[in-house]
Amino acid sequence: MCIAFPGKIISIDENNQALIDVEGTRREASLDLMDEEVTVGEYVICHAGFAIHKVDEELALEQISMLRQLLEDEI
């Protein structure tokens, strides 16, 4: 139920509705609950027709590179 997906913003209309690309499928998502400004090309977490968070790209990359670092330390 609390399932949510990361999606890329394709466009934003005058009613604060965004078109989001989620794994190749286009969905509509309201930006009414966003707590920061987002623009086309950025990623948001979408739940039940609403974007609820802007994906923190820096943290996302940092986490994955930390995990990969662990892997390399192993080899």
Partner 1 sequence: MKYSDEYRDPALVERLYERVRDTAADIDGPVTIMEICGTHTHAIGRFGIKSRLPENVRLISGPGCPVCVTAVEDIDRSLSMARLPGVILTTFGDMIRVPGTDGDTLERARSQGADVRMVASVMDALNMATADPDRQVIFLGIGFETTAPTVAATLKRCLKANIENFSVFSAHKVIPPAIQVLLDDPELAVSGFLCPGHVSTILGVEAYEQMPEHGRAAVITGFEPTDILEGVALILEQIRSGNMAVEIQYARAVNREGNPVAQKVMEEVFRPSDARWRGLGDLPGSGLALSGDYVRFDVFGRFDVPEVESREEKGCLCGEVLTGRVSPGECPLFRTRCTPANPIGPCMVSREGTCAAYYRYY
Structure tokens at 50: 């609403």
Q: Does 33 bind partner 1 (CB under 8 A)?
A: yes
Q: How far is it, in rounded angstroms, from Cα 33 to Cα 55?
A: 14
The residue count for binding partner 1 (CB under 8 A) is 35
Q: How far is it, in rounded angstroms, from Cα 66 to Cα 9?
A: 27
Which residue, 12 or 34, has its beta carbon nearer to partner 1? 34
Structure tokens at 23: 């794994």
| Contacts with partner 1, residue ranges (CB under 8 A) | 1-6, 8, 23-24, 28, 30, 32-35, 43, 45, 47-50, 52-53, 55-57, 59-60, 63-64, 67-68, 70-71, 74
